[in-house]
Homo-oligomer: A and B are copies of this chain.
Amino acid sequence: MSKKENIVHAAIQMFREKGIDKTTVSDIVKNAGIAQGTFYLYFSSKLALMPAIAEVMVEKTMDIVKDTVQEDAPFQEKLEQLVGAIFLVAREYNEIQALIYAGLASTEHLKEWETVYAPFYQWISALLIEAEQAKVVRDTINIERTSKLLIGLVESAAEQVYLYDVTDETEVNRQKEEVLLFLLHALGVKQ
């Protein structure tokens, strides 16, 4: 693992433990096993970490999504798997998700948000295009916009249950079902 990755991962860990504000650069470097000054060879400041962290988070998300959604499953099942995957990520990283977003928001790096999310948007777009061509969704969908709406919807649904340390599996499942139902109608999924 490169020193830069080292820093990013150490930072993610500390942020999860203490939150962004409470985490000091000193915490990060201790955790990464490097010297204080070394941090600044790779990042100009603590906030400059955010885009790199966001990128890693999106990578993690996509890894899980790709692992979970089966290529050859029917579209409806794929959607269900997708919702499951996003909930999985949210459960694991809900604390950090909001923080990164806020971290980006409180810097000049906000514009990078779209860039960072782009691969995820594209992946969902591909999914929708396939469904459209298979005529299993309504044909009035604007692919690009809808892929973003979909992610926004499911992520906010996941946050709603996980942000409050909900551990009640039943509650989580009901939320998943409801958002899936909502989604199926929204996309006009046939059968």
- Could you tell me which A residues sit within 8 Å of B by CB distance? 19-22, 95, 98-99, 101-103, 105-106, 110-111, 113-114, 138, 140, 142, 145-146, 148-149, 152-153, 155-157, 159-160, 163-164, 174-175, 178-179, 181-183, 185-188
Q: Which residues on B sit within 8 Å (CB–CB) of A148?
A: 157, 160
Binding site secondary structure of chain A = helix
Contact B105 A99 (CB under 8 A): yes
Give the distance in Å from the alpha carbon of A175 to the alpha carbon of B110 in the complex.
20
Q: Which residues on B sit within 8 Å (CB–CB) of A20?
A: 106
Query: In the complex this chain forms, how many copies of it are found?
Result: 4
Q: Which one, B110, B156, B164, contacts A155 given CB within 8 A?
A: B156
Contact B157 A152 (CB under 8 A): yes
Give the distance in Å from the alpha carbon of A170 to the alpha carbon of B114 in the complex.
20
Give the distance in Å from the alpha carbon of A63 to the alpha carbon of B116 in the complex.
35
Contact A99 B106 (CB under 8 A): yes
A24 to chain B minimum Cβ distance, whole angstroms, is: 13
Give the distance in Å from the alpha carbon of A102 to the alpha carbon of B107 in the complex.
13
Contacts A155-B156, A186-B186 given; does A95 touch B105 at CB 8 Å:
yes
Give the distance in Å from the alpha carbon of A89 to the alpha carbon of B79 in the complex.
31
Give the distance in Å from the alpha carbon of A188 to the alpha carbon of B183 in the complex.
11
12 residue pairs of the A-B complex, CB under 8 angstroms, read A20-B106, A21-B106, A98-B102, A101-B101, A110-B164, A140-B181, A145-B174, A145-B175, A149-B179, A152-B156, A153-B156, A185-B186
Can you name the residue of chain B whose Cβ is closest to the Cβ of A159?
A: B152
A116 to chain B minimum Cβ distance, whole angstroms, is: 13
